[in-house]
Structure 1
Amino acid sequence: MTTPSLFFMAKPSTEVRHAMQQVLADNGWDGQLGDTLFAPDNWHQSLSHPMPSTPARRHALMEIGAHVRSQAFTLLLNRIAGTAADPTSIHWKFYATTRPAGLDALLANIRDGLQAQGLDGMPGHSPHVTVSYWAPHKLARQPIRPIPWRIDEVLLVESQGDPYRYNTLGRWSLRPAPQGLESQRELW
């Protein structure tokens, strides 16, 4: 059994998850991944690295979440690839070619909160969603039909056991972007 860990994430909506599953099915990739496909309900964009779960850390992270002041933004998933994460595993991920400024602002907001609490959990995070951590083979980068994903909330989750899952401990809405201020670059 794995030790529970805490981290911040954004989860795709049901519609976005279904669009991702459709891309996998349309290309036969779901069949290639078979039982190495990560449970779609666990798909996410990491916003911090996992940290061992303790009551004090859980309290500190809840405080950070309550003070997130970033704006909602759109992440455009438009490619997929499967690369070796390390010598023992191959990760298949949906990627966004463009890194939205809103993602960087949110990551900075969370990083500042972690630093204020004396916590470290913020190496770089690229815009992506991992769908398999143990894929049977690599997959060359493939363009896909673009999937716009509106990230409008942050979740604090605790990873747990068998079957592996994320339990939501807290959720906070991001501020809506003022009308017309979200750039076309973030959308396309």
Structure 2
Amino acid sequence: MLRPTIEAASEALEIAQARRYAHSLTGPSRPRELLHVTLNGIGAYRRLPQDIVFGAEQVAATVRARPFDLVLDEVMSFSHPGEPQAFVISSRRENEALQDLRRQIQEGLYEAGLPYNLGGHLTPHMTLLYDRKTVLPEKLNRPVQWNIREFLLIHSIYGKSEHNVVGRWPLLG
């Protein structure tokens, strides 16, 4: 996953607050420390399997990418049938550096025999809140952007809004 800087996270939460009012959304904003952009999930487990963690750490250590800028310039809802919709800040701009980072991770997971989401195009997004209302795509006057200097492996405790950092790897090129 990619974690925003404190400044970028604060800007994103300001946007969430403004759009909550503009669209009559009632869901609470996600806590700043949980804001992130997912690159690839490796499964949902009751207990975190150490063999999968070890394998994912080995894959992460092989990734070679340079720091790059990520720009999120629109808000919208992502539908999940029967569940509240994710209200996200996202981008449909092509970001080759982001796609390459994701591809390296996915191919490494595949080659290691680990869970992966090979293929498909990534729409980078950060969930700001959940709500029952749908918000159609809307461009932002001022995008949220930051320089990506590392990626992280986290263990997300499902239903508890808790992320434990398992490992982090710098983007060095």
Q: Distance in 2 between matches of 1:83 and 1:35?
A: 14
Aligned residue in 2 for 1:109: 104
Aligned residue in 1 for 2:161: 164
Aligned residue in 1 for 2:124: 127
Q: Distance in 1 between matches of 2:123 and 2:91?
A: 9
Deviations 1:10-32 (A, max 9, x none): 11111100111122233444994
What secondary structure, in the 3-state scheme, does the structure 2 residue paired with 1:74 have?
strand
The answer on 1:91 being equivalent to 2:83 is no
- TM-score, structure 2 normalization: 0.86
Shift of 1:160: 1.6
> Retained in 1: the 8 A contact 2:20–2:26?
no
> Retained in 1: the 8 A contact 2:42–2:114?
no
Distance 1:120 1:161, change over 3 A: closer
* Long gaps (5+) in structure 1: 1-8, 177-188
What secondary structure, in the 3-state scheme, does the structure 2 residue paired with 1:150 have?
strand
- In terms of fraction of residues, the more strand-rich structure is 1
Shift of 1:161: 5.3
Q: Distance in 1 between matches of 2:22 and 2:42?
A: 27
Q: Please give the residue correspondences for 1:28-107 in structure 2 after superposition, counting only pairs within 5 Å.
A: 28-29=20-21, 32-51=24-43, 52=45, 53-107=48-102
> Retained in 2: the 8 A contact 1:75–1:149?
yes
What secondary structure, in the 3-state scheme, does the structure 2 residue paired with 1:167 have?
strand
CA RMSD of aligned residues (A): 2.1
Q: Distance in 2 between matches of 1:87 and 1:73?
A: 36
What secondary structure, in the 3-state scheme, does the structure 1 residue paired with 2:136 have?
strand
Aligned residue in 1 for 2:6: 14
What secondary structure, in the 3-state scheme, does the structure 1 residue paired with 2:58 have?
helix
User: Between the two proteins, what is the percent identity of the paired residues?
Assistant: 22
> Retained in 2: the 8 A contact 1:47–1:107?
yes
* Long gaps (5+) in structure 2: none
Distance 1:29 1:172, change over 3 A: farther
- How many matched pairs? 167
Distance 1:111 1:33, change over 3 A: same
Q: Distance in 1 between matches of 2:11 and 2:35?
A: 13
